[in-house]
Structure 1
Amino acid sequence: MARIPVAQRRRDFIDAAVEVIASNGIDGATTRRIAEQANANVAMLHYCYDSKEDLFADVYEFVATRFREVIEQSDPHTTVLETAQAIMRGVMECYYDSPAFGATTLELINWARRQHGDRGIAVYDQAMQVGLEVLRRVAAEEGVAADVVDEIPYVIGTLSDGFAINFLTYGDRAAAKAQMDITASVLDSWLSARLAAGPAKPARRKRAASA
């Protein structure tokens, strides 16, 4: 039997960990369960990773990379509105295609916040930054103000995360498809109005009262 390269074994363990974390949570994601999910033995897992936390760090990086890929692949190079819609639909489809990915993402963010403080928000920061870079490229061609563009990734994150939690709670795939359209319409309504309003006006300073 051909020997499986360590890099492939690591990827197998990452994929297995995503499934196990989604089903059992961080505390229940034992090395034995992860090894069994990967059709390997615990000794092989420990050969590839010095500790379970090292494996979780790779899972965390996998999640962050997946968000970057979804956002970059969702760039249609058209209008800001169409680009924002494509990004959000891409993220929602990612959750829809793999409920385990969504569940593991939420578990890992909470775990990282407890274990590493600010590292727990890194996956959000990275996704937001990639989304912002994509939107800024399109906005520069369309002439959309920077302060409008800066708000969009936050709104996309809020709406898509709400969709993910609802889908994980009820697990209704037929309803989830309809909810994607509803969520997209919310983004469309907000962003269309926001683009029409233009840049936010700076707050007017109050004139000092006369002595």
Structure 2
Amino acid sequence: MTHFTWREPTIPRIPVEQRRERLVAAAFRVVAADGVEAATTRRICAEAGMSLASFHYAFESRDALLEALVVAGLTSEDTAIHAVLTDVPADGGDIESLLRGGLRGYIDSVVADPSREHALIALSQYARQTPGLEGFAADVYRRYYELAATALTAAAEASGARWRTAPQTLAPLVVAATDGLTLAYLNTGDLDVVHRIAEACVAMLLTHLEAA
């Protein structure tokens, strides 16, 4: 008779960095759906399909995970805004069309994933209220201003226009417009209002060009 020795199946160990990434992604989904307050350790683990033991192997605490989530979420928003605002066609065009196209591209990104925008707003608020993270949110906005200034400079160069007002001065106005149209869409879903905000921003920017 052949005897078999039972062995427990070997479960592959997940590298700690991969555990962290899964937990951060799960936390982002929870925050997008129900806000930061709903992002409890237990809820995040359930969303990630991981045990509480796995959580504590990857993060010291919920606060540590939320800190990583703030950094990952707002950094990814930086990347997304960079992709949209600096996407100036190589063949140029008139500056009004370039400005309008950039803002419409941003609107398309908001409409495509509103839950992401809800999560990013919640994370920004959390960062401002959390000791040690309040400066991070401010740094992210300074980065947004830099991206907007870069986009305005690129649009002028591609179209042959010249700014009468420095792009660095105009950049916060562009960011204020994108913040405003984002909140308008998230709260009302009214694209007509959103596009009117964008058109008002374009009209304002055109007044800061040097005469042809």
TM-score range, shorter chain: 0.7 to 0.9
Listed as ranges, the gaps of 5+ residues in structure 2 are 1-10
Contact 1:148–1:195 (CA under 8 A) maintained in structure 2: no
Measured in 1, the distance between the counterparts of 2:20 and 2:70 equals 13
Alignment TM-score, normalising by the size of structure 2:
0.74
Contact 2:32–2:116 (CA under 8 A) maintained in structure 1: yes
- Match of 1:106? 121
Give the direction of change, closer, same or farther, for the CA distance of 1:113–1:72 in structure 2 (3 Å limit). closer
Shift of residue 109 of structure 1? 1.7
Shift of residue 196 of structure 1? 4.9
Sequence identity of aligned pairs in percent? Answer: 23
Measured in 1, the distance between the counterparts of 2:44 and 2:150 equals 36
Contact 2:174–2:201 (CA under 8 A) maintained in structure 1: yes
Matched, 1:17 2:32: no
Which residue identity does 1:195 align to in structure 2?
L
Measured in 2, the distance between the counterparts of 1:52 and 1:83 equals 44
Alignment counterpart, residue 183 of structure 1, candidates 197, 206, 211 = 197
Cα-to-partner distance string for 1:68-92 (whole Å, 9 max, x where unaligned): 3223322214365455434433433
Contact 2:45–2:55 (CA under 8 A) maintained in structure 1: yes
Measured in 1, the distance between the counterparts of 2:196 and 2:170 equals 17
Alignment counterpart, residue 153 of structure 1, candidates 159, 162, 171 = 171
Alignment TM-score, normalising by the size of structure 1:
0.74
Alignment counterpart, residue 94 of structure 1, candidates 109, 112, 137 = 109
Listed as ranges, the gaps of 5+ residues in structure 1 are 199-211
Structure with greater helix percent:
1
Shift of residue 5 of structure 1? 4.2
Matched, 1:136 2:153: yes
Shift of residue 98 of structure 1? 2.1
- Match of 1:163? 181
Cα-to-partner distance string for 1:108-147 (whole Å, 9 max, x where unaligned): 2222112233333222112222232343344456352373
Q: Over aligned residues, Cα RMSD in angstroms?
A: 2.8
Q: Which structure would you say has the larger Rg?
A: 2
Give the direction of change, closer, same or farther, for the CA distance of 1:68–1:110 in structure 2 (3 Å limit). closer
